[in-house]
Chain A
């Protein structure tokens, strides 16, 4: 029995292989667009939260500016498509690269700050990008936003029906998760943990903590922006308050914290819990009680933090650890 639990602990991927299988098969039996939309949003927000987790969860540098990186992705691919006719398939890579460069710049400037000071600095950065997106209306369309073409065209990453979005969203999430998991098991992952646990000790053991964090920030920013591009393609309309607002960063943090911050699959668990709640409440209550889902978010967050400070997966892991070591 102990051995079995040890095996489960060590092969913690198993439940998530099951998750991805289920996520791949289930949509085939769902015909209602409403539910398919739910799948797509889960995949998008889980991807974004996972991307955020690569810097914030793995290193403890909590960024509240990831909304800006998401927005950079969404705007880059959209503007490149609308103005220059460049396919979003390339646009998302260009946006991702731009965001990675911006992420590294944020890191170079702000990594000397610790905990809440870093969070505040990145929060300010996110606001700056939001304001820029609002005011440079010639390029971004300002508050009026930009509408994307809706005619189905693979080249334009625009599909007929919901199912292709479900599967491209799923592939996106799988890519983000695999990247995240590879980092965690790599030399970089060990260096990030070392930094998070104790910077002085890490440095004395030869860890270049600055470079490790910048690498993580670049990867995290890239993936956040790619997710933003995909979101824009799915929603086919973007404006600053849908792709640059601070709530996106907070939501990414919320999903990861409740699911298990710093774990590879925590953000997915968070998204699977929260996204359906949001959708269901919106459907049931319509616009009669706007913001109720936020109250429920808050309630869940408080309960989880009180009883499982390391999130749902963190608590599960500790439990398995204790059983298998006794």
Chain B
């Protein structure tokens, strides 16, 4: 469905991604993990067209999408959330989500209806008339998801949507992510909270310092000594 071939990206002379190749299978939740600076968000930027000066190819449903603009990639069916949430601060949540819906719909009325359905789905319906700037962290994350969903993505990339949430918010978010996956959307999730990612994903891809380290089921990955080393350092190799 989504295939990355030999992605390489430099910031100045600094190689931040090298030789990244993997593919996503449809309808599954894939986790993307790695220590800080591993290149996870950069990889999201490459896939969604925010970085263009990279080598390698990104193929989506048989089409090469490398070099396309984010708005065109969105139209093809790939959307993402941002780690640092970017709500449209001075308009209501309904209007925020409507903008996503308008990528597929022509009429304002239809977009409003769809936006309200999605706000209901993510649990923000009651707050639909609040301005984007007046949200808590958890709600901002949900709004990011709602807006993305409104574009009817086939693949949805979630960038740390669980960072900074408390226990109950975390539970709610896990349920939401499962519901999204159940609706048939393929998910690629960046997350730092290991337990959560192990619980949610069917497959985990590990990056370390811009390189592909390993991939496999959550169990395989957690037992891999290379992964433990990458996260904890050499001394804990035998921990």
Q: A residues touching B (Cβ–Cβ < 8 Å)?
A: 185-187, 190-191, 193-194, 197-198, 200-209, 321, 325
B91, B103, B148: the one within 8 Å of A207 (CB): B103
The prevalent SS among residues of A at the interface is helix
Contacts of A186 in B (CB 8 A): 108
Structural contact, B99 and A203, CB atoms closer than 8 A: no
A196 to B224, CA, bound (A): 47
Q: B75 at the A/B interface (Cβ < 8 Å)?
A: yes
For B74, B88, B89, B108, the residue with the greatest tally of chain A CB atoms inside 10 Å of its CB is B88
- B203 interface contact, C-beta 8 A: no
Chain B residue with the shortest CB-CB distance to A194: B99
Q: Given A197-B90, A205-B151 in contact, is the A185-B108 Cβ separation under 8 Å?
A: yes
Q: With A185-B108, A187-B102 known to touch, is A205 a contact of B129 (CB < 8 Å)?
A: no
Q: Contacts A197-B88, A204-B148 given; 16 further ones with Cβ under 8 A?
A: A187-B102, A190-B108, A198-B86, A200-B82, A200-B86, A201-B86, A204-B74, A204-B79, A204-B82, A205-B103, A206-B104, A207-B99, A208-B69, A208-B71, A209-B71, A321-B131
* Closest B residue to A187 using CB positions: B102
Cβ-defined contact, B86 with A191, below 8 A: no
Q: Would you list 19 pairs from A and B whose C-beta atoms are within 8 A, ordered by A residue? A: A187-B106, A190-B95, A191-B102, A193-B99, A194-B99, A197-B91, A198-B87, A198-B88, A200-B70, A202-B99, A204-B79, A205-B74, A205-B79, A205-B99, A205-B103, A205-B151, A206-B74, A207-B99, A207-B102
Q: Say yes or no: is B50 at the interface (Cβ < 8 Å to chain A).
A: yes
Partner-A contacts on B (CB < 8 A):
48, 50, 69-71, 74-75, 79-80, 82, 86-91, 95, 98-100, 102-104, 106, 108, 111, 129-132, 147-148, 150-151
Chain B positions within 8 Å of A187 at CB level: 102, 106, 108, 111
Please give, as numbers and ranges, the residues of chain B lying within 8 Å of A207 by CB-CB distance.
Answer: 71, 99, 102-103
Please indicate the chain A residues that have their CB under 8 angstroms from the CB of B70 in the complex: 200, 203-204
Please name all residues of chain A whose beta carbon is closer than 8 Å to the beta carbon of B71 when the two chains form the complex: 203-204, 206-209
Distance (whole angstroms) from the CB of B143 to the closest CB of chain A: 10
- A197 to chain B: closest residue by CB: B88
B50: chain A residues at CB < 8 Å are: 200
Residue of A nearest to B84 (CB): A200
CA distance A125 to B7 in the complex (A): 42
Residues of B contacting A194 with CB < 8 Å?
A: 88, 99
Report the Cα distance A191→B130, complex, angstroms.
Answer: 19
The one of A190, A193, A204, A325 in contact with B130, judged by C-beta atoms closer than 8 angstroms, is A325
Residues of A within 8 A of B74 (CB): 203-206
Contacts of B100 in A (CB 8 A): 205-206
The CA of A205 and the CA of B118, in the complex, are separated in Å by: 15
Identity of the chain A residue whose Cβ is nearest the Cβ of B157 in the assembled complex: A204
Given contacts A187-B108, A190-B95, A190-B102, contact A204 B88 (CB under 8 A): no
Could you tell me the distance in whole angstroms from the C-beta of B38 to the nearest C-beta in chain A?
A: 22
Q: How far is the CA of A203 from the CA of B91 in the complex (A)?
A: 17
B150 contacts which of A201, A203, A205 (Cβ < 8 Å)? Answer: A205
Whole-angstrom CA separation of A197 from B98 in the bound complex: 14
> CB-CB < 8 A to B98: which residues of A?
190
